[in-house]
Amino acid sequence: MAQKPSIPKGTRDFSPVEMAKRNYIFQTIREVYALYGFQQIETPAMENLSTLMGKYGEEGDKLLFKILNSGDFLHGITPDEVATTSTLKLAARFCEKGLRYDLTVPFARYVVQHRDELTLPFKRYQVQPVWRADRPQKGRYREFYQFDGDVVGSDSLLNEVELMQIVDTVFRRFGVRVCIKINNRKILTGIAEVIGAADKIVDITVAIDKLDKIGLDNVNAELREAGLSETQVEQLQPIIRLSGSNQEKLATMREVLRESETGLRGIEETEFILSRLGSLACDTAATNPTAGAATAVLANPIELDLTLARGLNYYTGAIFEVKALDVQIGSITGGGRYDNLTGIFGMPGLSGVGISFGVDRIFDVLNALDAYPKEAVSTTQLLFVNFGEREADYCLQALRSVREAGIRAELYPDAAKMKKQMSYANAKQIPFVALVGESEMADHKITLKNMQTGDQQSVTVDELINTLNA
Amino acid sequence: MAQKPSIPKGTRDFSPVEMAKRNYIFQTIREVYALYGFQQIETPAMENLSTLMGKYGEEGDKLLFKILNSGDFLHGITPDEVATTSTLKLAARFCEKGLRYDLTVPFARYVVQHRDELTLPFKRYQVQPVWRADRPQKGRYREFYQFDGDVVGSDSLLNEVELMQIVDTVFRRFGVRVCIKINNRKILTGIAEVIGAADKIVDITVAIDKLDKIGLDNVNAELREAGLSETQVEQLQPIIRLSGSNQEKLATMREVLRESETGLRGIEETEFILSRLGSLACDTAATNPTAGAATAVLANPIELDLTLARGLNYYTGAIFEVKALDVQIGSITGGGRYDNLTGIFGMPGLSGVGISFGVDRIFDVLNALDAYPKEAVSTTQLLFVNFGEREADYCLQALRSVREAGIRAELYPDAAKMKKQMSYANAKQIPFVALVGESEMADHKITLKNMQTGDQQSVTVDELINTLNA
């Protein structure tokens, strides 16, 4: 045989078992979004490069997969130009279209393009693959799905509240214990303001985040290395040592940020969100991580974490992140509030808030916890063994009733050796096998074999249906 | 405002309403496939060009969307080479990957690549977009979904029987009346053999297909123009005038093809399939299109149609096509038996049979017939009007119970003017609105308004849930 064909590096085939698991994940998230009034949209895999370029920074432009123009893509370009033009610029001449890099820019483009048809606030979810010409490595792919939900056209913090409920409900349905971390861009801005180090906020959050690992002295040393003065390091102490319930943390921060209008607004926003979630008393660091659960709206703890500093380029208000408690893996969901989604397309002033479920990592978490419900990943429930043409005809009749009753069933299409047919049932993990030979046909019965226990019983079609539907 | 952004020609955005309809179509087909033991797979959007090139003819190679290699795609190519090499060959130098053109070649590649993990027969379905650089026109897109189901690794005609049941069940569930047309490549080969015109089979089927429109004399004239002799035209008369039930047609053809071994095998195969479907007596041309329905397995008529001549390049046995009876549109589903799916990848001898649902056309048919079930396309069931912060807090409590009961519900996030909130409910076609003001809060009640009738009633949360779940 010739060499096996292969697929481009960083891409994946999904087998039936993987698809069943992924469908379970997608379907669960879909259902929760629908419960909250979110509607699905889809956008094309290809966008005009003019839509994509310049939206992800210089590095992002390089990571866009570009589609060669059809036909004479060299039209109007001289060999001399080819020789003297940079690769990136030539690519822009040869290519008008590129593959979607994320779901956010296409969504912004969608909102602007269809603004006359949309009623705001617009609550949309979208689950589609995106493509990035990144160097592939473990857990990083060149094609992967994103699952985003956003509300645009409303400044209300109730949207943040509902997104947290959505996150909580999704992971509750998955049976995965998580901690939701929340922060606010305005609090970070406030901290930078009061200590007078607007350009150091990332250094500060990175250093503080290491407290548990390296201890207070080393954190302080790192802050000094980052160029903070003794006074500034001193001012940061209450923030570094911030602990207790969300309410206690907010009280401390209100004091620290009393001079910063922006910072205080961040405190208020966070307090609004946490109070609606009944999570002010929540303290994930305490022995009982669900302290205050009696009044809590969420099944999972939500914790104010000032070291959470993702998306500082675009988030302007709340910032969220979700971590699995029982599996060592990075953030499995994240999001935040942004103020100017569609400004890049000439439609300013549209605020929004969104979350993105990391479905590939959630897949890994559910695998690690073996948390897939059996019925979600089971396929065929019953295989009729094929003993020959007459028996197969008999089985076809029975199959009609069985399928009408909603049972997923097959007849092995060939009268192959029993062993081969049984291997097929095993490979597909089919739990029941139906055997119909001469005597069964004469008695109008079916021999039903439970593949797990090995038990066999002689049943009518109706009894078979009742057994499988039980 | 700047110029509205747009999407590449031939591609589409799908709005929430369109997505709801498409999801209904996809979900219905999925469920039927699952009932028959088919499992889903997915393959990457990008395949190596070596996998795709040469599989769709010269024209197809041109219609492949090719992905420019990342980074220095010009590496090792001199300006001189650029000047002297053909565009198509240069494209092959600049690009290693291309976008999927159909689901068949990626499926063949999948089967060969994963042959050690697969248990045959392998019954798979796949629903993913494909891309073709065709000239866009009404109903023809550059990105569109295909929905394919195939059984590979089994020669049994029971697979054909089950695929016809799948087709029938899908359209029955859609509430769309169809006629399934069936033919067999071997019968067409037999006809060409017995009249001695192996190269004219397409001309013959095209001419015969016009019988109803242009009449017998004109059909015969066309056959002569195609180069058939008087004797050959004479020999074709019983085929042109073929009519009656499937059984009668098969009897006539058995006589016509008595000298062709291949032709007779085609007759036998067709008879096997139609007899298992209880459709030998079926005669769609008769006044009662469901004649013989008493014993028929299918809800829709299936008819032997010798003019059906699709996919003659690859189909080797049965050929199918589905036409909607109540909407003027081309074929909405098609398929057939092929003998050598994976030979192109060095794995010969693997037979298969498959069907492809034309989901874009099915979408048009269901639109034309307004055949979407109401519950399939409805989104939010209940909107809580937002009268202010205290009222919103009250609504949040009620919403938790309502959603726990599985009702899709929203709270308008801002305390906007009543009129604006009502427009939102109307735009989203939300059937019920909940009003909670001072008096409702005092009485622990909710005013529930039916948006269709205008009726209002004062209810408890439990009563509200019962009303909506009724």
Closest chain A residue to B151, measured at CA? A413
User: How close A216 gets to chain B, by Cα (Å)?
Assistant: 41
Q: What is the pLDDT of residues B117-126, one digit of tens each?
A: 999 999 999 9
**pLDDT mean over B338-352:** 90
Contact A151 B400 (CB under 8 A): no
**pLDDT mean over B71-84:** 85
Q: What pLDDT score does B77 carry?
A: 85
- pLDDT category at B50 given cuts 50, 70, 90 is very high
User: How close B95 gets to chain A, by Cα (Å)?
Assistant: 8
Q: Which of B42, B49, B107, B345 to mutate to test the interface with A (most CBs of A within 10 A)?
A: B42
Q: What is the pLDDT of residues B1-45, one digit of tens each?
A: 557 899 999 999 999 999 999 999 999 999 999 999 999 999 999
Q: Which residues of B touch A39 (CB under 8 A)?
A: 16, 19-20, 379, 428
Q: Which of B2, B44, B428 minimises the CB distance to A346?
A: B2
Q: What pLDDT score does B84 carry?
A: 85
Contact predicate B99/B131, CB 8 Å? yes
Contact B13 A41 (CB under 8 A): yes
Q: What is the pLDDT of residues B145-170, one digit of tens each?
A: 999 999 999 999 999 999 999 999 99
Q: What pLDDT score does A455 carry?
A: 96
Q: Which of A1, A117, A346 minimises the CB distance to B1?
A: A346
Residues of chain A with pLDDT under 50: 287-294
Q: What pLDDT score does A123 carry?
A: 97
SS (H, E, C) chain B: CCCCCCCCCCCCCECHHHHHHHHHHHHHHHHHHHHCCCEECECCCEEEHHHHCCCCHHHHHHHCCEEECCCCCCCCCCHHHHHHCCHHHHHHHHEEEEECCCCHHHHHHHHHHCCCCCCCCEEEEEEEEEECCCCCECCECCEEEEEEEEEECCCCCHHHHHHHHHHHHHHHHHCCCEEEEEEEHHHHHHHHHHHCCHHHHHHHHHHHHCHHHHHHHHHHHHHHHCCCCHHHHHHHHHHHCCCCCHHHHHHHHHHHCCCCHHHHHHHHHHHHHHHHCCCCCCCCCCCCCCCCCCCCCCCCCEEECCCCCCCCCCEEEEEEEEEECCCCCCCCEEEEEECCCCHHHCCCCCCEEEEEECHHHHHHHHHHHCCCCHHHHCCCCEEECCCCHHHHHHHHHHHHHHHHCCCCEEECCCCCCHHHHHHHHHHCCCCEEEECCHHHHHHCCEEEEECCCCCEEEECHHHHHHHHHC
Q: What pLDDT score does B285 carry?
A: 62
ipTM here: 0.93
Contact B413 A47 (CB under 8 A): no
User: How close A174 gets to chain B, by Cα (Å)?
Assistant: 16
Closest chain B residue to A63, measured at CA? B70
Does position B289 have pLDDT exceeding 70, yes or no? Answer: no
Contact A7 B43 (CB under 8 A): yes
Q: Which of B42, B87, B95 minimises the CB distance to A14?
A: B42
Q: What is the pLDDT of residues B351-370, one digit of tens each?
A: 999 999 999 999 999 999 99
Contact predicate A71/A97, CB 8 Å? no
Q: What is the pLDDT of residues B381-395, one digit of tens each?
A: 999 999 999 999 999
Contact A68 B65 (CB under 8 A): yes
Q: What pLDDT score does A341 carry?
A: 87
Q: Which of A12, A13, A99, A118 to mutate to test the interface with B (most CBs of B within 10 A)?
A: A13
Q: Which of B5, B70, B427 minimises the CB distance to A113?
A: B5
- pLDDT category at B89 given cuts 50, 70, 90 is confident
Contacts across the A-B interface (CB distance below 8 Å):
284
User: How close B16 gets to chain A, by Cα (Å)?
Assistant: 5
Q: Which residues of B touch A72 (CB under 8 A)?
A: 87
Closest chain B residue to A77, measured at CA? B83
Q: What pLDDT score does A314 carry?
A: 87
Contact A396 B158 (CB under 8 A): yes
Cα separations in angstroms, B68 against A64, A96, A99, A329, B261: 10, 11, 11, 34, 51
User: How close A457 gets to chain B, by Cα (Å)?
Assistant: 23
Residue recorded with tokens 């089979």: B201
Q: What pLDDT score does A291 carry?
A: 45
Closest chain A residue to B14, measured at CA? A42
User: How close A309 gets to chain B, by Cα (Å)?
Assistant: 26
